[in-house]
């Protein structure tokens, strides 16, 4: 964790200053070494750093989608095989809980004004499913830890791809391209934020000033990577790659390198288009400020001070559903949430597949009938067999497998055993305690018997 160590070393003393209770103007200026709380073994810190690194990797593959905690647990168990889900949940809850940070910033007259922010959560957690992903602050933390430079300097990273191919260090190519992708994604998100909130005039002016430099950097990166991808098809490099690949433990293919370079080229095209669109919108005055609306606060204000009738009428028409049924959620969209919730809370997930119903030989009832059916038919041919007698004789056991429901099913549907069998109901109660403590009782006793021998006045099912 060398990259994370650099980030922590650079920020630890700043956090000490933030948490310091030293009174301003106090003459006691000597500082002693603080004794930090905790286990002092780095366990929780290492888990958090590993989790953030994994979420960043998944962030590339899923385009910032949420990831289940089960996948995070499987990934972290590669370093900690005995890691339990509770430890992971504690780390996620801690990283997802924001802490207020008090700062001071320069005001309009040059004075230092007090500021505070709670955007310190590194992980975003869904309340319904518990799935997680990186927040912008978390992505920035991983970026800083990885020592990623600005996009204007990423053209030197692109040259590293050519150097890696020239030296035969093919394993470094995906890592280098990921570093370039981080810089491209950072600028892309910055463009999106500027479009959503153009009041950030400082960042907007920086983009306008550096527009030419960004386009030049993107063109330089694109030319370098196109050159690198063309080298992958040369016979000399392919032969060197085959020799290198034979000495590697993992399965490598030239398509892996080509795909890594292709992702960067696609990202460059998207970023270049977004940058051009933003500049064009600014030039034509199409960029407008879009603020965030707190609808809960708006609702509270409407209750305290109802709007004027001229405003209330169009508001009701736009926000009120046409039919009452539309105001209630349907159960269908909630099914994926419930299934995901069960998969998170249980080690066994229930999966229903109709294709499996076409294979009755795999069901427990089919196995019970195949194993116990012939002997059970012979037993009924000798004399009628009541359910109480069948339980006492152990017909519900098939080796170590408990088949009590399957045995009762044969009394309900006699066609499973034989078409010549029927069930008679004798009006006498029975009560039987099984070896495992279960109690089977009933006010009447069902009995299996042959249809041609059944002459007693019974109620047939």
Confidence of residue 132 (pLDDT cuts 50, 70, 90): very high
Residues 76, 185, single domain; the answer is no
Asked which of 284, 303, 332 is the last residue of a domain, the reply is 284
The C-alpha atoms of residue 182 and residue 328 are separated, in whole angstroms, by 42
In the listed set 264, 284, 304, which residue is the last one of a domain according to the structure? 284
- The answer to whether residues 230 and 163 belong to one domain is yes
Tens of pLDDT, residues 382-412:
888 888 888 888 888 877 778 888 888 888 8
Q: Is the pLDDT of residue 67 over 80?
A: yes
In a domain, 221, yes or no: yes
- Mind listing the pLDDT tens digit for each residue in 397-451? 877 778 888 888 888 888 888 888 888 888 888 888 877 778 888 888 888 888 7
Q: Is the pLDDT of residue 459 over 80?
A: no
The pLDDT confidence band at residue 119, using thresholds 50, 70 and 90, is: confident
Predicted TM-score (pTM) of this structure? 0.39
169 and 273 part of one domain: yes
Is residue 26, in this structure, part of any structural domain at all? no
Whether pLDDT at 348 is above 50: no
State the chain's mean pLDDT as an integer.
77
pLDDT score of 230 more than 70 = yes
Asked, for residue 409, whether it belongs to a domain, the answer is: yes
* Alpha-carbon gap, residue 421 to 318, rounded angstroms: 67
Nearest alpha-carbon partner for 245 in 256, 258, 234: 256
The percent of residues above 90 in pLDDT, for the chain, comes to: 8
Residues 86, 43 share a domain: yes
Q: pLDDT: is 360 or 133 the higher one?
A: 133
Regarding whether 158 and 279 lie in a shared domain, the answer is yes
pLDDT of residue 112: 80
Residue 49 has pLDDT above 50, yes or no: yes
Residue-number span of the structural domain to which 314 is assigned: 295-321
Q: Are residues 280 and 306 in the same domain?
A: no
- Say what the pLDDT of residue 453 is: 46
Supply the pLDDT for residue 329. 52
Task: Report CA-CA distances (Å) from 81 to 58, 85, 369, 421.
Answer: 20, 12, 43, 56
Determine the Cα–Cα distance for residues 259 and 240; give it in Å rounded to an integer: 19
Pick from 169, 163, 165: nearest CA to 236: 165
Determine the 3-state secondary structure of 430 from DSSP. strand
231 inside domain: yes
The structure tokens listed for 399 are 């080796």
Output the pLDDT for position 72. 92
Burial of 112 per CB tally in 10 Å (0-12, 13-18, 19+): exposed
| End position of a domain, from candidates 284, 307, 330 | 284
Residues 300 and 416 in one domain: no
> How many domains are there within the chain?
4
The predicted pLDDT at position 456 comes to 45
Same domain, 221 and 317: no
Q: Supply the pLDDT for residue 90.
A: 93
Give tens-digit pLDDT for 160-219.
888 888 888 888 888 888 888 888 887 777 777 776 665 555 566 666 777 777 778 888
Q: Is residue 23 part of a domain?
A: no
Q: Does any domain span residue 28?
A: no
pLDDT at 337 over 80: no
Give me the torsion for CA of 376, 382, 386, 388, rounded to 10°: -70
Helix (H) or strand (E) holding 460: strand 459-460
- The more confidently predicted of residues 123 and 286 is 123
184 and 223 together in one domain = yes
Residue 172 lies in a domain: yes
pLDDT value at residue 344: 45
Are residues 50 and 153 part of one domain?
Answer: no
Question: Do 176 and 268 sit in the same domain of this protein?
Answer: yes
Please check the confidence at residue 293 and state whether its pLDDT lies above 70.
no
Q: Is 33 a member of any domain?
A: no
Same domain, 179 and 273: yes
Q: How far is CA 291 from CA 34, 116, 314, 447, 461, in A?
A: 43, 20, 22, 75, 71
């Amino acid at each position: 964790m060398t990259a994370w160590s650099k980030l922590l070393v650079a920020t630890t003393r700043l956090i000490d200053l933030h948490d310091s209770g030293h009174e301003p103007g106090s003459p006691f200026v000597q500082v002693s070494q603080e004794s930090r709380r905790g286990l002092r073994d780095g366990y929780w810190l290492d888990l958090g750093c590993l989790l953030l690194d994994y979420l960043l990797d998944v962030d590339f593959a899923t385009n910032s989608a949420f990831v289940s905690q089960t996948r995070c647990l499987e990934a972290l168990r590669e370093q900690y095989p005995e890691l339990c889900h509770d430890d992971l949940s504690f780390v996620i809850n801690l990283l997802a809980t924001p802490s207020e940070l008090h700062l001071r910033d320069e005001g309009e007259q040059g004075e230092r004004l007090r500021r505070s922010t709670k955007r310190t959560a590194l992980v975003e957690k869904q309340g319904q499913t518990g799935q997680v992903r990186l927040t912008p602050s978390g992505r920035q933390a991983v970026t800083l830890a990885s020592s990623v430079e600005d996009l204007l300097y990423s053209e030197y990273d692109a040259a590293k791809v050519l150097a890696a191919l020239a030296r035969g260090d093919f394993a470094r190519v995906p890592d280098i391209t990921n570093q370039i992708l981080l810089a491209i994604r950072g600028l892309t998100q910055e463009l999106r934020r500027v479009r959503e909130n153009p009041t950030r005039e400082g960042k907007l002016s920086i983009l306008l000033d550096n527009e030419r430099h960004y386009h030049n950097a993107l063109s330089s990166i694109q030319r370098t990577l196109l050159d690198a991808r063309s080298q992958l098809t040369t016979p000399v490099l392919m032969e060197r790659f085959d020799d290198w690949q034979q000495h590697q433990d993992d399965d490598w293919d030239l398509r892996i390198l080509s795909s890594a370079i292709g992702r960067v080229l696609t990202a460059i095209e998207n970023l270049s288009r977004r940058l051009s669109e933003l500049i064009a919108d600014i030039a034509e005055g199409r960029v407008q400020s879009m603020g965030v609306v707190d609808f809960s606060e708006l609702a509270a204000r409407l209750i305290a001070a109802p709007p004027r009738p001229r405003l209330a009428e169009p508001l009701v028409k736009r926000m009120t559903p046409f039919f009452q049924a539309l105001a209630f959620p349907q159960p269908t969209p909630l099914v994926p949430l419930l299934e995901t919730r069960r998969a998170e809370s249980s080690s066994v997930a229930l999966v229903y597949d109709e294709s499996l119903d076409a294979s009755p030989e795999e069901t427990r009832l089919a196995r019970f009938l195949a194993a116990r059916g012939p002997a059970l038919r012979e037993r009924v041919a000798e004399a009628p067999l009541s359910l109480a007698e069948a339980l006492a004789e152990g017909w519900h056991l098939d080796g170590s497998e408990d088949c009590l429901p399957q045995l009762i099913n044969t009394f309900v549907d006699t066609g499973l055993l034989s078409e010549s069998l029927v069930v008679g109901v004798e009006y006498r109660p029975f009560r039987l305690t099984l070896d495992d403590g279960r109690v089977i009782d009933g006010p009447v006793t069902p009995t299996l018997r042959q249809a041609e021998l059944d002459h007693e006045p019974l109620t047939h099912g």
